[in-house]
Amino acid sequence: MHSFVTSVVNFIFLLISSGIIYGYYALILKIDEEDFGGHSTLLQEGLFASITLFLLSWILVYSLAHF
């Protein structure tokens, strides 16, 4: 049960993160994604940064709460 919940939470995180990244470069920056290699290339670049930020915040919150 725990691994199922973890998988669902990770999937939701990926959906939300991808939506934010797509919205940022398509709606706010208004760039032509084909000039930068397409949607997948831009999402990969943004996803790495968002996963890094998520892990950093998770480690900080966990460490502050338990130590």
pLDDT value of position 26: 87
pLDDT value of position 40: 86
Query: Residue 34: which domain range?
Result: 2-66
Using a pLDDT cut of 90, give the percent of the chain over it.
21
pLDDT value of position 44: 85
pTM comes to 0.68
CA 19, distance to chain mean position in Å, is: 9
Q: Are 13 and 30 in contact (CB under 8 A)?
A: no
When divided into structural domains, the chain yields a total of 1
Gap between the Cα atoms of 7 and 17, Å rounded: 15
Question: Under 8 Å CB-to-CB from 46, ≥6 apart: which residues?
Answer: 17, 18, 21, 24, 25
Residue 43 has pLDDT above 80, yes or no: yes
Gap between the Cα atoms of 36 and 25, Å rounded: 11
